Amino acid sequence: MKKILKIGISVIAVTLMFSFLGCEKNSSEIKEASKIERLENKEEVIVGVGQSMLEKGFDPCKGWGNYGVTLIQSKLLDFDFENNIIKDLAENYEVSEDGKTWIFKIREDVKFSDGQKLTAKDVAFTFNKTKEIGTTFDFKLLEKAEALDDKTVKFTFSAPCSTFIYNAANLGIVAEHAYKDTNTYSLNPIGSGPYKVVSYTQGQQLILDRNEEYYGTKPKFKRLTLVTMTPDTALASIKAGDIDIVNVSEAMAQEKIENYSILATKTMDFRAISMPVIKKSEKLTEKGNPMGNDVTSDIAIRKAINYGVDRQEIIENVLYGYGEVIFDFFDSLPWGIKDEIRKEFKNGDIAKANEILDKAGWKMKDNGIREKDGVKAEFRLLYPASDDTRQSCAEAFAVQCKKIGINVIPEGSDWTEMEKRQSSDACVIGGGQYTPEAVARFYFSERIGGPWSNIVRENNPTVDEHIRAAYLATDEKVAIKNWQKALWDGKEGGSVLGDAPYCTICYLEHLYFVRDGLDLGRQKLHTHARDLSLMANIEEWDFKK
């Protein structure tokens, strides 16, 4: 009897176990089916985003969407898929012969999400307020913006400003009637973009509903929900099937997750190493911080690094192959000089690097580290400890430099400490925005002292002259030619052909887990803003089972 009872209990246990597993499987299938139904009906798409995206609110005058994608607001101009500038709110515009006056005619059929009409007064207010706040766009030359009538806005400059066309394609227009101050507007933005804010929990979640007043092609999805996540919670959420899309690191992208696929997008999002060009000084920076470095101030060190570093090896070992070798920030952009640089540089040219260092008097010692006049070829390289990719880049860069006798010491830090030491130590930096004004940000002496602007303290009068000429050009082709000359004019320049204050490594590829069936359409070339860049074509997003 006991034996029979034991077998009976076992049979019951096994039966219950399979019954439980079956219920669990059915429950999982039901949950997945409900998510598919949500997407099929275009009810809502849920996107995991980085924590910084939802921290500071949504005021374009203070920086929201300054990489060109705003979601909530519209812009005078925009970029197409080939990065040509196209009209958005603007119907047309004209520039005076002296380049000091720009007049835009705007559409008359545009309403804000609260139903009020958008007029030229809102456009003028936005640009004047952005100049007043002064944290994002360089509007130093802008004297004033004024509405001539409801559909005409006039911009007056103290001198020609060739970069204004890019500003007009990056700055979202706010509703003057809803703008009490930047803090109030940031939390309760009213705009004329494809989506409107329904609910915002600062730093955590943003719920957007389709703006039925939108004049352009309306998105297919009625609701767009953005949820902030750390890398760990992002992966866990995807595995649980709680979100539809999330950006992940190169390492995390190696995971195989049921019902999801990896989307890899091309970008202008660079990773590079900054190298201060002045010797260590007892003087302090404008903010009272140390400046100068006795090793990186030697151009031979900077040139040798740029020749010797094997960028492709870093991409393969650190980024799992998801990247593109670059020798300049602007390799893929019209104001870049990729072809000229490629004639001179080849990737990982250790022989050339050693030749430069030997000639400059940096002698190799028995310990494998070079020295010159009692100074070791050694410097610290700062990276944000919160960024695994930048840490890996720093460590891989150090390995590359060791091959040519330069000892690089990676050091994890936070952004506050890095900002204090940005002009005395090398830093792993990132960025990428579609505007030639970035040339000035990296190389113009007048930008020294700005937030993360010309942190290497480049001060070359010839480079400055070309940058000024680019700003003041009244013809776009002439402007671009001068931006290129600032990088290299055949004799001098800020790029690796000239002063070489940076060692650019690569353009990243942005990686996302995307729920199977979601079609994110044709992606534009991504900027540094990886979450917003994905949504630049939000009207194309669809679900196809």
Do both 154 and 229 map to the same domain?
A: no
Same domain, 227 and 276: no
Whether residue 389 lies inside any domain: the answer is yes
41, 220 in Cβ contact below 8 A? Answer: no
Last residue of a domain, which of 159, 174, 189? 174
Helix or strand run (H / E) with residue 1: none
pLDDT (tens digit, 9 = 90+) per residue, 67-96? 989 999 999 999 999 999 999 999 999 999
According to DSSP, residue 321 is labeled T
What's the pLDDT score for residue 228? 96
- Please report which confidence band the pLDDT of residue 27 belongs to, taking 50, 70 and 90 as the band edges: low
- pLDDT confidence band for 30 (50 / 70 / 90): low
pLDDT value of residue 1 = 37
Number of domains in the chain: 3
User: H or E stretch including 459?
Assistant: none
Residue 488 lies in a domain: yes
pLDDT (average), residues 351-372: 98
Sequence-distant (≥ 6) Cβ neighbours of residue 519 within 8 angstroms: 540, 541, 542, 543, 544
Range 479-485 average pLDDT: 98
Residue matched to tokens 């004019």:
489
* pLDDT given at position 493: 98
Based on the fold, state whether residues 295 and 344 are members of the same structural domain.
Answer: yes
Residue 173: closest CA among 108, 109, 102, 88 = 88
In a domain, 232, yes or no: yes
Same domain membership, residue 250 and residue 170? no
- Same domain (yes/no): 398, 528: no
CB 386 within 8 A of CB 232: no
Strand order in the sheet with 205-210: 195-201, 205-210, 223-228, 44-49, 245-248, 510-515, 260-265
CB 163 within 8 A of CB 42: no
Which CATH number is 74's domain given? 3.40.190.10
Report pLDDT for 17.
45
Q: No. of H helices and E strands in the chain? A: 15, 24
Residues 225-236: pLDDT tens digits?
999 999 889 999
Give the E-state strand segments of 26-178 in sequence order: 44-49, 77-79, 85-87, 90-95, 101-106, 142-149, 152-157
Q: Is residue 253 domain-shared with residue 311, that is, in the same domain?
A: no
Residue 36 falls inside a structural domain: no
Res 5 pLDDT > 80: no
* pLDDT grade for 451, boundaries at 50, 70 and 90: confident
Give me the pLDDT at residue 29, please. 65
Same domain assignment for residues 482 and 422: yes
Confidence of residue 18 (pLDDT cuts 50, 70, 90): very low
Residue 476 CA to residue 23 CA, distance in Å, equals: 66
Q: Residue 288 pLDDT > 80, yes or no?
A: yes
The whole-number average pLDDT for the span 484-496 is 98
Whether residue 309 lies inside any domain: the answer is: yes
State the pLDDT at residue 15: 45
Sign of CA dihedral 126, 129, 133, 137: positive
Domain that holds residue 156: 65-174
pLDDT at 28: 62
Quick one: which of 441, 460, 449 has its CA closest to 285? 449
Q: Are residues 165 and 213 in the same domain?
A: no
* Residues in contact with 504: Cβ distance below 8 Å, sequence separation at least 6, in sequence order: 270, 271, 272, 326, 327, 328, 329, 331, 496
Written as one letter, the residue type at 20 is F
Is pLDDT at 540 greater than 50 in this prediction?
A: yes
pLDDT given at position 135: 85
Identify whether 335 is part of a domain.
yes
pLDDT for 42-60, tens place per residue?
999 999 999 889 999 999 9
Q: How confident is the model at residue 2 (pLDDT cuts 50, 70, 90)?
A: very low
pLDDT for res 51: 87
Quote the mean pLDDT of the chain: 93
Question: Is the domain of 410 the same as that of 501?
Answer: yes
Shared domain for 275 and 391, answered yes or no, is: yes
Whether residue 19 lies inside any domain: the answer is: no
**pLDDT above 70 coverage of the chain, percent:** 94
| Token couple for 323 | 């990247």
Per-residue pLDDT at 112: 97
Q: Are 104 and 147 in contact (CB under 8 A)?
A: no
Q: What is the CATH number of the domain that holds 333?
A: 3.10.105.10
Write the pLDDT tens digit of every residue in 161-193: 999 999 999 999 999 999 999 999 999 999 999
400 and 476 co-located in one domain? yes
- The model's confidence at residue 25, banded by pLDDT at 50, 70 and 90, is low
pLDDT of residue 16: 40
Domain annotation covers residue 184: no
The Cα 496–Cα 1 span in angstroms is 88
Q: Give the residue carrying structure tokens 């900054």.
A: 274
Q: How confident is the model over 136-149, as a mean pLDDT?
A: 94
pLDDT > 90 fraction of the chain, expressed in percent and rounded: 90
The rounded distance, in Å, linking the Cα atoms of 68 and 538 is 13
What local confidence, expressed as pLDDT, does residue 4 receive? 34
Q: Are residues 353 and 409 in the same domain?
A: yes
Tell me the mean pLDDT in the region 351-377: 97
The residue type of 178 is A
Predicted confidence (pLDDT) per residue in 421-443, tens digit: 999 999 999 999 999 999 999 99
Secondary structure of 42-75 as H, E, C letters: CCEEEEEECHHHHCCCCCHHHCCCCCCCCCCCCE
